[in-house]
Chain A
Amino acid sequence: MNFYAVKAIYKFEMARMWRTLGQSIASPVLSTVLYFIVFGSAIGSRIDGIDGISYGAFIVPGLIMLSVLNQSISNASFGIYFPRFTGTIYEVLSAPISFVEILLGYVGAAASKSLVIGTIILLTSGFFVDMEIQHPFWMILFLVLTSVTFSLFGFIIGIWADGFEKLQVIPLLVITPLTFLGGAFYSINMLPPLWQKISLANPVVYLISGFRWSFFEHSDVSLGVSLAMISIFLLLCISAVAWIFKTGYKLKA
């Protein structure tokens, strides 16, 4: 194991993050505050709580997930796409490191950044609503699993993309709708039965449900199912990345 390489990549990527700290944190925090003002205060005050949870508090886990998903994907995809774009990837390819080490460095850094942002949003939420986290351990576990899994997914997008447009496409066209329809702002039990069934095909439902359970013990699907789904997605991403490195797909001519 080439620990120095993992550390070097991680440090380098984190330095990039600190340099752009303002914008990395400002935009998710700003959008979260906006959501709170619009959904939490303005509209939320007209909505009865959901299963005894105030609406403002109910949307907190969803909002955190929304940011964590988007941040993980955009950080990780940009982190690997940029060196491909500029050509500096040659150095990583010529270094004595395995794909596991490359992943630990790039995906580890992207996931760390998402975790930081998730935590900041959680703290920001504290200013708007009172809430108690029932299962902090599970909450952290879900946050970490989600950050890692979606950073991996972002990494794959960053390797697949051959233009800056493609980098934007997946988060915009896929992740945002999935999160909005994944129960960030409502409980899927509130949907008509047919839509409830359709929602179960949306992987984000399981993330938000499990995450929300760790806050309020309220979930749309059982905890076990949530964990199983996210693990499956994690494994799928790992296999995809393993294949990419084995074949050199889009990395090596």
Chain B
Amino acid sequence: MKSVIQMKQLNKVYEDGFQALSDINLEIRKGEIFALLGPNGAGKTTMISVICGIVNPTSGTVTVDGYDIIKDYRASRAIIGLVPQELTTEAFETVWNTVSLSRGLFGKAPNPEYIEKTLKALSLWDKKDNKIMTLSGGMKRRVLIAKALSHEPEVLFLDEPTAGVDVDLRKGMWSLVHELRQTGVTIILTTHYIEEAEEMADRVGVINKGRLIVVEEKNELMKKMGSKTLSVQLPFSMRELPEDLKSKRIDLEADGKVLNYTYDTQSEEDDICDFFDLLKQNGISFKDITTKQSSLEEIFVSLVNK
């Protein structure tokens, strides 16, 4: 598949000497939805900012649709739309004016019909003459999306688009992203929610401490992310695991009161019933059960420590 963004040996060292990006090599494919995951401070926003021209790269090259982001900045920036992480808006301006400004800034002739369509799609039409400061947080986020879409970009960056957004709106954004992809827009998003990456992404990149650790098809990564732990609270303290239960998947916590069973929701072989059968055969009763999805944070830790 054709790549639309190429980063080669990209490094960013901030003025205070902090290295936020280290030797990033990454290609974003045309038309895909790419989720960039990583803990706070990993360098996600920095990477996006470099591509968009807001932060100067220290070394390395980035091209967008074949155009160098520094030498051919006009061509590379013209096709990018950016929804920033922070809710930064022109508080005293109306929704309509701020979205029209964005379109103009990106060199497009005024097109009120298109802006109307965009505002309607984002349920902002009835707020078009409102000052932005009179909008709720979720509406402001949608204004930022409208601004980014105002110039019909081919590549869209969404930096944590669903932070602080309610469930309904989150679902709405997911479908918006899917619709945009239908029209051929490439989407790069960052998020801290696994289910978001799971719902939307074709591919996932994990970044930590400025380094890209993993770039994989989502389905591959989901297998790793799909591991869950089922914990069984025992009514008594077990000193040792019975022979039958000894397996990689099962372990006994130190106090002997909890049995943990690790399984993979994506895998067909794993069957929770087998585990319960084993408990029954060994005459082990239990008070309670809980299950826990391995968190993104844990996956990062395991990835980093690998």
Contact = CB atoms under 8 A, between A and B. Distances in A.
A11 to B, nearest CB: 8
A5 B88 contact: no
Interface in B83-139: 84, 86, 88-93, 97, 100-110
Contact of B53 (A4, A19, A86, A93): A93
A45 B174 CA distance: 75
Given A15-B97, A253-B15, 17 more contacts: A2-B74, A4-B109, A7-B104, A11-B104, A12-B97, A12-B101, A16-B92, A86-B90, A87-B84, A87-B88, A90-B54, A91-B102, A93-B53, A93-B54, A96-B73, A97-B107, A98-B74
Contacts of B80: 94
A88 B89 contact: yes
Q: Which of B80, B91, B92, B101 has the most CB of A within 10 A?
A: B101
Contacts of A94: 52-54, 77, 80, 82
Contacts of A4: 103-105, 107-110
12 contacts: A2-B74, A5-B106, A5-B107, A12-B97, A19-B92, A86-B89, A86-B91, A91-B82, A91-B105, A92-B105, A95-B107, A96-B76
Nearest to A3: B107
A248 B89 contact: no
A252 interface: yes
B104 A8 contact: yes
A9 interface: yes
Q: Say which size band chain A's interface belongs to.
A: 20 to 34
User: Which has the most chain B C-beta neighbours within 10 Å: A19, A83, A90, A95?
Assistant: A95
Contacts of B180: none
B70 to A, nearest CB: 11
B147 interface: yes
A95 B91 CA distance: 20
Given A88-B88, A253-B14, A96 B107 contact: yes
Contacts of A92: 105
Interface in B167-198: none
Interface string A4-44: 11011101100110010000000000000000000000000
A105 to B, nearest CB: 9
A93 B80 CA distance: 12
Nearest to B87: A87
A8 B100 CA distance: 8
B82 A90 contact: yes
B104 A252 contact: no
Nearest to A2: B107
Contact of B56 (A5, A8, A91, A253): A253
Contact of A8 (B54, B77, B92, B101): B101
Contacts of A19: 92
Pairs of residues from A and B, 4 with the lowest C-beta to C-beta distance, nearest first: A8-B104, A87-B88, A95-B105, A96-B77
B55 interface: yes
Contacts of A15: 93, 97
B104 A96 contact: no
B52 A96 contact: no
B88 to A, nearest CB: 3
Interface string B41-80: 0000000010011111000000000000000011111101
Nearest to B110: A4
- The listed residue with most B CB atoms (<10 A of its CB), out of A91, A92, A248, is A91
Given A93-B53, A96-B74, A253-B55, A8 B105 contact: yes
Contact of A252 (B55, B92, B107, B110): B55
Contacts of A9: 101, 104-105
Nearest to B147: A91
Contacts of A90: 52, 54, 82, 84, 88
A15 B96 CA distance: 13
A87 B103 CA distance: 18
Contacts of B56: 248, 252-253
Contacts of B54: 90, 93-94, 252-253
A110 B15 CA distance: 32
Given A12-B97, A90-B84, A91-B147, A5 B105 contact: yes
Contacts of B75: 96
B55 A86 contact: no
Nearest to B78: A96
Contacts of A98: 74
A102 to B, nearest CB: 10
B294 to A, nearest CB: 35
Given A8-B101, A12-B97, A15-B97, A95 B106 contact: yes
Contact of A88 (B55, B90, B103): B90
Q: Which of B74, B92, B104, B108 has the largest number of chain A CB atoms within 10 A?
A: B104
A184 to B, nearest CB: 34
Nearest to A247: B56
A92 B84 CA distance: 13
Interface in A48-103: 83, 86-88, 90-98
A246 to B, nearest CB: 11
A96 B73 CA distance: 6
A2 B78 CA distance: 11
